[in-house]
Chain A
């Protein structure tokens, strides 16, 4: 292993980015960044969210053009003005949000853009899906990326979609492979598998650029690591000779304080009781099957699971966003199974949804309006049918202060203009201010930087101390392990296991998440 690493390394630089600067309205995403990547190495780019990692690599992949600076590939100066150009230079990228056509099959998605063509009667061209299927099959076997070529994308799980994205690059015979936060939504076991694939790819001579903020991954697979902080290059380090603590310090620009201080739990009576819950999706497909659990006052009950195993649907069903097929949900002893959303909110449910931009906020309304999204019917925000916009503004001013929400346009600025972290702060603030007995947090820290993550976790602890019942749903096992008092694991719509957080290791949780271990 170590030998292989040394052998594949040569001192020839395959990619050089020199003095790259990229500005977006209001921010400098990359400020005079220079990096050089050797052929055949795994080069990690480490930084917090918003540090400019993805922007830097998007320029290498031709999605943006730098405002200043030069890019060299294999020693030649290049102008990469489109992904097409990048592909021509044998560069491929797996984006954080997969770019797949939902109603295409796996092989259609892979060959899209460079389809194999055959001719009917020797003249009429058509896309030869059969040979595409075959090519995909071969490719997937060669790299151990098992997948069924004729399956539709919309029927695939997250890890399988990621495989499609990887195969897409390999089909295009890319030599330089960029992975943008590839492990964010995978289980420990899937991460393990993926890192294995990355190692295998390096052995076959590919150059790999890994964008991440997870230090363990870097430690495991990367040869060198560039650290970005607020758009600036801090350092390029040899991974073997640097400690993770050092990397973390450089990444954050200060000493890291990740552990939130969590006092011992004091459980009260049961606030939420879910009994034999069944939920169906739009196509009458059962997505939640016979799920039962309860959350007590002062308890953080966390549901772990791989994306798409019914956890979000549990939250949606409790909050009234999805109809309940059968079963019973009660809140403080009151049956709320069939109540509409509004009445559940009034009964005492706060809900921080997974999708903050399309569910939690109305992006084209002002911050002030979004902060009263659930309370505009009540005094002082309205009297009778008339809204009191002055009260909206007054409230917004207080919230901006209390929750440190930063909005360029102030209270009347559109939420769309705000950063993801500040949007999330606005939602969390609004939901906490409702003062509900039950607070549902779904993926509350996704895509946020460490500062914001710590802030939100502290809020959660604070609410727990105030005797609220908290239901946390997260795809990130680290978050579950850090926050939960009680852990429930869902797989394929069923609750596999419910146990106290003290009695289970993250590896065991991972096994339940994969469905390999049953209670």
Chain B
């Protein structure tokens, strides 16, 4: 469980793929049933993560080029 998590900001996944990973996840991610997380709530989360600022140009961050 220590590995880096997948990047979700500006995710290119479709909602169907996103939902599949949440309901029947691969690897060790906990599974969320519809009873615990409705499709409506899942859609809200999907919209939220897609709205997050994603990658930015590395050249704008000199300290990443040390």
* A complexed with B: no
